[in-house]
Amino acid sequence: MLRAGDWSVEAVCEENEFLWLAGRDTHCHGFAVDLGTTTVDIALLDLETGARLARKAFLNGQVSLGADVISRAQSFHADRTPVRAAARDTIEKGARQILAETGVSPAQVVKTVVVGNPIMIHILNGIDPYQLTHVPYIPVVARTLRGAPRDFGWTFQENGYVESLPLVSAYVGADTVAMIVALDLAREMKTTLSIDIGTNGEMVLARNGDMLTTSTAAGPAFEGAQISCGMRAIQGAILDVSIADNGNLSLRVVGNGTPRGVCGTGLIAALAELLDRGVVDATGRIIDPEEIAQPALRARLFSLGSESAFSLSEDRSVYISQNDIRKLQLAKGAVRTGIDTLLDVSGVPVDELDALRLAGNFGAGLSARAAMRIGLIPPMDLARVEVVGNAALRGAVMALLSREDDRKASEAARSARFVELGGKPEFQARFMDAMLF
């Protein structure tokens, strides 16, 4: 057993599954892929040392075919070819780019592990996910799937196989299973709540080895999609916003240049500040200019047709509209409802949580204080809120490198208990409350 960074790894190329490589002058590599609804995160690993050679994130080419998983499933049901091809091509192009930058040959790639939500996993494997959107909401297949690279039309991998990790239910997928593996939640003796916030909000409440899990359809607002000036966290995106007592804004921008838009973390940070400064009220309404005492803030309000907007940039090219706030309310309300329901079902009060973990690429850049201020997460001691990065990708890496961790993924999928949110009579009232700030 080798140690490599945070991973416990096996010398994969020496395992029986790759004995066919014996005697060949090659060096084994593999890819771990987090196939997100909006973002695809890809890492290249040296399977003999466990070293990560590269990691890059790409926009999922499926976004042009639907902003959420339900629309993707409907599109696939109508014509499966373009929807599946978009996912496969995103991974193909991303992996090819990484190989070109690292100098690794496709002949050296022998294994790829993919995680994602249930609809993404079904589509990637060419399985119609339509029944996941209808009663009784049962996945066609929930187990680990394996196939040859040629089954996916991939050229970045010439040998070995492609594996997608198992699902918990129609709503909780391989990405959540990977998070469970990465955070070792199946053996968690503390009481923790781990949340992967993105287009879907998956969460796991772990205590003494027991795991309750659920998923919420948050929509693309956290990814900056369908927001007036929304964008991914790339060059020019506003990551963070603070407002001084005199009303002056301070922006943190990717690349430190001129702001071109605002990503999800910047949107939440801005809204938290606007709530603190009284520019937005508890219902989410941008208040009238005459109600704002601070001239510098009042000057940033303007009209976009029939709705109000608040300018983040000096030239009003980047702003937050009233409709943007409403979309964020829906997204954060969905996630908060899932959190409150899991806590209620488990009988765990918030103050008994030893830790609340924010996972995912979005969670990695999120201010816990801002998330708490807008009501995305419940009020608690900030010291107990942990940012853990993309745990789904980390779990995929662990399953790629270690047979033991691959087995843990299968065990986690079997042992985690799914909680249905829509079936709870108090769901609607809880959701409406969670919409408020």
Q: What is the mean pLDDT of each run of 10 residues along the chain (437 residues)?
A: 38 50 70 95 96 96 89 93 97 98 97 97 95 88 96 97 97 97 95 92 94 90 89 93 96 95 96 97 96 95 95 97 96 94 94 95 87 96 95 98 97 95 79 93
**What CATH number belongs to 2-164?**
3.30.420.480
- Ranges of each domain in the chain: 2-164, 186-437
Two tokens, residue 207: 């205590």
Amino acid (one-letter) located at 216? T
Whether the CA torsion 100, 106, 107, 108 is positive or negative: it is positive
Question: For position 412, what pLDDT does the model report?
Answer: 97
Adjacent-strand bridge partners of 39: 59
Amino acid (one-letter) located at 230? G
